[in-house]
Amino acid sequence: MYLYVYDESVQGQRFERELALIETRLTDLGISGKIARLALFRDAEELIKDEIRRGTQTVVAVGNDQTLRKVMDAVADPSVVIAIIPLGQGNNIAEILGVPQGVAACDVLSARLVEELDLGSVNGMRFLHMVTAEGVQPACTFEGNYTLRPDTRSSLMIRNLAQSADFGAANPTDGKLEFIMKTPRRSWLIKKIEAVTNVPFAHLQIRSDDLITLQVDGEKLEGNDFDIKVLPRQIRIVTGKDRKYV
């Protein structure tokens, strides 16, 4: 059984035609299902959990990365498959997963290439993609025994699922997260350069005297102390053959 969760952002006139094409294609492929339309007055988590209790085995986010996050937060059962049909802006995760925009995503869903991926956790908040912070100078302790503290304010990135870009693709199946810190440096020859530190880890503790704001898959999390760890093989998700991670 399939549950299609329509984000509020795709329920206006702008997407009416494309949603109609998607629904027709899903019917043609024999994978139509119940549609749940999210609105401000509806609790997405309870709605999805209720449908899983009724036997839903695949939950499909129809929208963007934030829609996928709402679905991911609600699906605690690792046997339930998660998928996305991306529409509109803000679909970086879908791109990395190799899922095209709009009606073409229906064929990826039908092919049902399901992979078990790692998740990350920050103080209990799960994430699939990455965590970022700017202008910070915390103490970072890896695996409880090695501490790194930048000597100036730096930018941090903790990656789980990421395409190559400047640092190579992050592997979301290796049981590790990837810590990247960029620290400004000055040189007589080059006005400003950045020193880059790259550390794979399973457990990281971040401590700071100053308040830090983390962006966790686009959601803000503020604090001075963060406990970050990998959750191996915690999500089953539909990917495309053109996925961009390792």
Domain limit, last residue, from 111, 132, 157: 111
Both structure tokens of 210: 């100053």
Tell me, yes or no, whether 130 and 206 share the same domain.
Answer: yes
Q: Rounded CA gap, 176 and 178, in Å?
A: 7
pLDDT score of 109: 97
Q: Is residue 243 part of a domain?
A: no
* Number of independent structural domains in the chain: 2
- CATH number, position 9: 3.40.50.10330
Q: Is residue 96 part of a domain?
A: yes
Listed residue (214, 217, 2) closest to 91, CA to CA: 217
The whole-number average pLDDT for the span 204-218 is: 95
Tell me, yes or no, whether 134 and 226 share the same domain.
Answer: yes
- Looking up tokens 């992979």 gives 115
Query: Does 39 score more than 80 pLDDT?
Result: no
Listed residue (155, 131, 148) closest to 219, CA to CA: 131
Q: Is residue 48 part of a domain?
A: yes
Q: Is residue 199 part of a domain?
A: yes
Q: Is residue 11 part of a domain?
A: yes
Tell me, yes or no, whether 75 and 140 share the same domain.
Answer: no
pLDDT score of 166: 62
Backbone dihedral region for residue 14 (phi beyond 0: left; psi -120 to 50: alpha; all else: beta): alpha
pLDDT score of 38: 85
Tell me, yes or no, whether 105 and 126 share the same domain.
Answer: no
Query: Does 42 score more than 70 pLDDT?
Result: no
Tell me, yes or no, whether 23 and 62 share the same domain.
Answer: yes
DSSP bridge partners of 37: 6
Query: Can you point out the beta strands (E) in 30-88?
Result: 34-37, 58-63, 81-86
Local confidence band at 67 (pLDDT 50, 70, 90 cut-offs): very high
- What 8-state DSSP symbol labels residue 48? H
Tell me, yes or no, whether 86 and 128 share the same domain.
Answer: no
Both structure tokens of 81: 């498959």
Domain limit, last residue, from 71, 86, 111: 111
Tell me, yes or no, whether 61 and 125 share the same domain.
Answer: no
Tell me, yes or no, whether 152 and 101 share the same domain.
Answer: no
Tell me, yes or no, whether 58 and 88 share the same domain.
Answer: yes
Q: Is residue 116 part of a domain?
A: no
Listed residue (90, 97, 94) closest to 114, CA to CA: 97
Range of the domain at 221: 121-231
- DSSP code per residue over 207-231: EEEEEEEEEETTEEEEEEEEEEEEE
Q: Is residue 54 part of a domain?
A: yes
User: The pTM is what?
Assistant: 0.89
Tell me, yes or no, whether 92 and 173 share the same domain.
Answer: no
Determine the straight-line distance between the first and last CA of the chain, rounded to whole angstroms: 30
Domain limit, last residue, from 55, 83, 111: 111
Q: Between the ranges 11-15, 133-137, 241-245, where is the mean pLDDT highest?
A: 133-137
pLDDT score of 226: 98
Listed residue (138, 150, 154) closest to 204, CA to CA: 138
Residues 6 or more apart whose Cβ sits within 8 Å of residue 241:
98, 111, 113
Tell me, yes or no, whether 170 and 200 share the same domain.
Answer: yes
Contact 153, 182 (CB under 8 A): no
Contact 127, 234 (CB under 8 A): no
Tell me, yes or no, whether 39 and 61 share the same domain.
Answer: yes
Residues 6 or more apart whose Cβ sits within 8 Å of residue 157:
130, 131, 132, 179, 180, 181, 182
- CATH number, position 222: 2.60.200.40
Q: Is residue 237 part of a domain?
A: no
